[in-house]
Homo-oligomer: A and B are copies of this chain.
Amino acid sequence: MQLVIEPSPSEFEQLAKRPELEMHDLEKKVLEIFQLVKANGDSALKDFAKKFDKAEIADLLVTPSEIHEAEQLVADELKQAIEVAYRNITLFHAAQKTEIQKIETMPGVVCWRKSVGIEKVGIYIPGGTAPLFSTVLMLAIPASLAGCKEITLCSPPNQQGKIHPAILYAAHRCGVSQIIKTGGAQAIAALTFGTESVSKVHKIFGPGNQYVTMAKTLATRYSVSIDMPAGPSEVLVYADETSEPKFVAADLLSQAEHGNDSQVILITNTEELATNIMNETEAQLNQLNRFQFANNSLVNSKAIVMHDKKNVLQFINAYAPEHLILACKQANELAEEVINAGSVFIGNFTPESAGDYASGTNHTLPTNGYAKNYSGVSLDSFVKKITFQEINKEGLKIIGPAIECMAEAEELTAHKNAVSIRLKSLKHE
């Protein structure tokens, strides 16, 4: 970790910068994949499975017997742990449902909003180094709660043509409608255009490598929306003398192990504490099975010493971290002042991994500074809110003249006339 001592606020913007993602060459490659999937459907997906996943896929759709088999393969202890997470995530997201509230803005003028689940959604779950069944829970539970009618999940098969049993188990548990053995940019293309086996969806969720990220960006050119722009995962920990250095070190490493490009920032109020935590991080690092990832991302990480809490807060809001851990005194008061962050973890016994897995909050969060203008995934991400209004004759008599006057001032006489023609008919009522 690079130690930075008392930077001045004028340096914050530079310090808060993430490394630029290189995406230029990807677009052409991913566009080619899109064109092939659009033209050839399932057969293109099978070709890509052969090429990229080294798998022969006869049937892209996971069958009920494969799901049954997966259920046998998942250990009971893991099933119980998933049940804890399932319950908490459901509790937290179900509380986000809003009742319809009819507002009579003027007598006889009634307006309201109704949340309606996006009809068809797609969830992408990467393969690769670890089976991310926790992301299945984080996306399929709110989709299900939102009332999405079709939830399609795509994940790449292994060389035996199988998806990891924990992913299948979690998907089935959360009410996913169909699970498709396809990964990478081709999976996003399939969700964008639809194929014989894959339903065309309205919105695509989920993490992935740079090909998947580019594919999601391209998908938005075809009327599909996406959860949010993607970037490497991040944590910012603020620790003072009330923190426990070995806990802080463990939290930094839990972020660093994600990948070589993970962003880890530590802020302490003294240099001594920073050094303690850095030493503790080194000590714990050697015990990790993902040592190499953690080590690589720590090289680019920063430990910043700032004694002034006002500066700390200013830096936090300038950086806009995906995850923010406040291991300090008066953490709740500090949390109140945070404007830009994805998810905030308060106190010494609230590790980020709680939110990653099981406490109930969502782990799909804005990275790369997007916490300034994006929320993490929530029930809101899976619904549209439609507005409704109903005006009766009395209501139109009251509100009508204001509409006529404004429409006239905007020189939109047909807008005005839609009111005038009705008011005229009411003249003798």
Residues of A at the B interface (CB closer than 8 Å) are: 77-78, 80-82, 84-85, 87-88, 91-92, 95-96, 98, 101, 103, 105-106, 109, 111, 113, 116, 118-119, 129-134, 166, 202-203, 220, 223-225, 229, 244, 246-247, 250-251, 253-254, 256-258, 284, 287-290, 294, 317, 332, 335, 338-362, 366, 368-376, 378, 380, 383-393, 395-396, 399, 401-403, 405-407, 409-419, 421-422, 425
Contact = CB atoms under 8 A, between A and B. Distances in A.
* Closest CB pairs A-B (n = 9): A81-B405, A105-B360, A84-B402, A88-B105, A351-B418, A81-B402, A257-B414, A202-B373, A346-B390
Contact of A119 (B106, B347, B372): B372
Contacts of A387: 342-344, 355, 361-362, 376, 378
A115 to B, nearest CB: 9
B91 A103 contact: yes
B384 A374 contact: yes
Contact of A349 (B289, B372, B393): B393
Contact of A378 (B109, B113, B362, B412): B113
Contact of A203 (B129, B373, B416, B425): B373
A257 B386 contact: no
A349 B422 CA distance: 7
Contacts of A348: 422
Contacts of A344: 386-389
A373 to B, nearest CB: 4
Contacts of A343: 386-389
Contact of A96 (B80, B113, B341, B406): B113
Contacts of A352: 418
Given A95-B103, A347-B390, A347-B392, 9 more contacts: A116-B340, A131-B410, A254-B414, A254-B415, A344-B387, A349-B422, A353-B403, A356-B407, A356-B415
25 contacts: A80-B405, A84-B106, A105-B360, A119-B317, A119-B340, A202-B372, A202-B373, A223-B368, A223-B369, A223-B373, A251-B418, A288-B413, A290-B411, A343-B388, A347-B391, A348-B422, A350-B391, A351-B419, A352-B418, A353-B415, A357-B406, A358-B402, A359-B399, A372-B384, A375-B385
How many copies of this chain does the complex contain?
A: 2
A417 B253 CA distance: 9
Contacts of A88: 105-106, 109, 399
A247 B109 CA distance: 18
Contact of A402 (B223, B357, B391): B357
Contacts of A253: 414, 417-418
B375 A384 contact: yes
Contact of A105 (B91, B287, B412): B91
A399 B109 CA distance: 49
Nearest to A362: B387
B371 A384 contact: yes
Contacts of A370: 223, 225
Nearest to A149: B339
Nearest to A284: B417
B422 A247 contact: yes
B223 A412 contact: no
A123 to B, nearest CB: 15
Nearest to A203: B373
Contacts of A224: 373
B84 A373 contact: no
A409 B254 contact: no
A254 B418 contact: yes
A134 B406 contact: yes
